[in-house]
Amino acid sequence: MKKISLPILPNAPLSALKSSNYEGEFKLRRHRKLQFVENVLFHAKKITYKSTYQNDQSNSELFRSHMTKVYHKIKNKFSKGSKLVEVGCGKGQFLEIVKNDDHFDYRGFDTSYEGTDNKIEKRYLTEKDRIQADVVVLRHTLEHIPSPHKFLLLLSKIFPSKALIFVEVPQLDWIEKNQILFDFTYEHVNYFNTYSLCSFFSEVIENGNFFGGQAQYLLAKFSSLDLSTWENYTDSSAWVTYDFSCYYDAFRKLINPFKKFKKIWVWGGATKGVLFLKHLSNCDKKLFKSILGVIDINPMKQGNFTPSTLIKIVPPKTFFYESVNKDAIVIVMNPNYFSEVKDLIRRESPSFPSDRIFDLCTSKNVEKISSYQTNQKHVISELEHA
């Protein structure tokens, strides 16, 4: 694939139109044996996780439910009072669930943490750390760290060999099956399918997919960490260029039905929404000009602007009360949230037609738009003959 430029941190919205707007070079390669995919042009020094990084999804009832399911999947394997440590705990949403249940003695580490829980340290782990734990949790952390095998080796020195590790990362199989161009992001240097994630361990206790297939998990013992299959990681002959052309073809096909509309709201200002807008601005400038704004339920993003494309992010209430919505449509970026968004619009803005709410990642949009246009023609015809 040819290298492209992507916003470095999609989840760090810009506070003003004149804010620094950094992009990084992106080019993927795949390891022949491990089936592991990485951005060969990634530079860790470009990434700084601080308070402006807002990846909190806990405002969504669906996502809170997902985190609760993850928690119980872990809890069921440990007795009360066991020690749980989350590495890369973000804003601490998962540890809030842990804290409220009072089953684990917990700790957390993340440089972007903004809360007041004294059990969460705003720092990275180092080789000097030695921490007791029964289970170490890595939720959507490993995809951000270059040379992930070296990071796991570091963790195996910090934590006891008898401890278990629970890893959750995006599922590359889902991205490839659905050909979702806007799921590839600069801050994710790594992309794992089931095989590559399990390749770190000689024995896996449990693994599987969840969150609609978009994410996967693995549970294993640190004592079973086996990096022998990663020995040729630095051998250039072990890698092949990742074919990206099919993703652009799928993206053009995906956006084509929406060219009929002049007013479009994007629902979701996280990675998918920001990357969708970035690619849209490159692939179809005319359609990009139809974007009215980005709707997001995270209050820390509202009032800010999307990296790279500088589209304003607004709260749902702005959409509910905008008179411009008369002829507008809503495109929901993540299919997992489609029903939740549709129900919210139905409750708060019942006059907004449900057939103008679209799930971006579905092949049925052509049929749905055709049906919508037919209905509109019938309405116009009835008005003309009234």
pLDDT digits (tens, 9 = 90+) for 303-319: 999 999 999 999 999 99
Give 382's pLDDT tier (boundaries 50, 70, 90): very low
Q: Quick one: pLDDT at residue 384? A: 44
Q: How far is it, in rounded angstroms, from Cα 274 to Cα 319?
A: 18
Check: CB of residue 111 under 8 Å from CB of residue 50.
Answer: yes
Q: Would you state the structure tokens that stand for residue 229, as one six-digit string?
A: 């299959």
Q: Degrees (nearest 5) of the Cα angle 249, 253, 258? A: 145
Q: Are both 214 and 80 inside the same structural domain?
A: yes
Q: Rg (Cα) of the chain, in Å, rounded?
A: 22
CATH number, domain containing residue 196? 3.40.50.150
Give 237's pLDDT tier (boundaries 50, 70, 90): very high
Q: Are both 166 and 261 inside the same structural domain?
A: no
- Where in the sequence is the domain holding 284, given as residue range(s)? 254-384
Check: CB of residue 292 under 8 Å from CB of residue 264.
Answer: yes
CATH number, domain containing residue 332? 3.40.50.720
Q: How far is it, in rounded angstroms, from Cα 182 to Cα 26?
A: 13
Give 379's pLDDT tier (boundaries 50, 70, 90): very low
pTM above 0.95, yes or no: no
Q: Are both 230 and 261 inside the same structural domain?
A: no
Residue 167 included in any domain: yes
Q: Quick one: pLDDT at residue 188? A: 97
Number of independent structural domains in the chain: 2
Check: CB of residue 283 under 8 Å from CB of residue 247.
Answer: no
Q: Quick one: pLDDT at residue 380? A: 42
Residue that is last in its domain, among 215, 240, 265: 240
Residue 15 included in any domain: no
Residue that is last in its domain, among 240, 275, 299: 240
Q: Quick one: pLDDT at residue 49? A: 73
In the chain, pLDDT over 70 holds for what percent of residues? Answer: 91
Q: Are both 65 and 207 inside the same structural domain?
A: yes
Q: Quick one: pLDDT at residue 367? A: 57
- Highest mean pLDDT, choosing among 41-50, 320-329, 340-349: 340-349
- On the question of pLDDT at 296 being above 70, the answer is yes
Give the residue from 175, 54, 166 showing the smallest Cα distance to 110: 54
Q: Quick one: pLDDT at residue 336? A: 95
Residue 17 included in any domain: no
Q: How far is it, in rounded angstroms, from Cα 285 to Cα 272?
A: 18
Residue 208 included in any domain: yes
Q: Are both 49 and 115 inside the same structural domain?
A: yes
Q: What is the mean pLDDT of residues 243-252?
A: 94
Give the residue from 20, 91, 54, 60 showing the smallest Cα distance to 270: 54
Backbone angles phi, psi at 119, to 5 degrees: -90, -5
Q: What is the pLDDT of residues 16-40, one digit of tens each?
A: 877 667 899 999 999 999 999 999 9
Q: How far is it, in rounded angstroms, from Cα 91 to Cα 110?
A: 8
- On the question of pLDDT at 57 being above 80, the answer is no
Q: Are both 165 and 119 inside the same structural domain?
A: yes
Residue that is last in its domain, among 209, 240, 271: 240
Q: How far is it, in rounded angstroms, from Cα 82 to Cα 65?
A: 23
Q: Are both 236 and 261 inside the same structural domain?
A: no
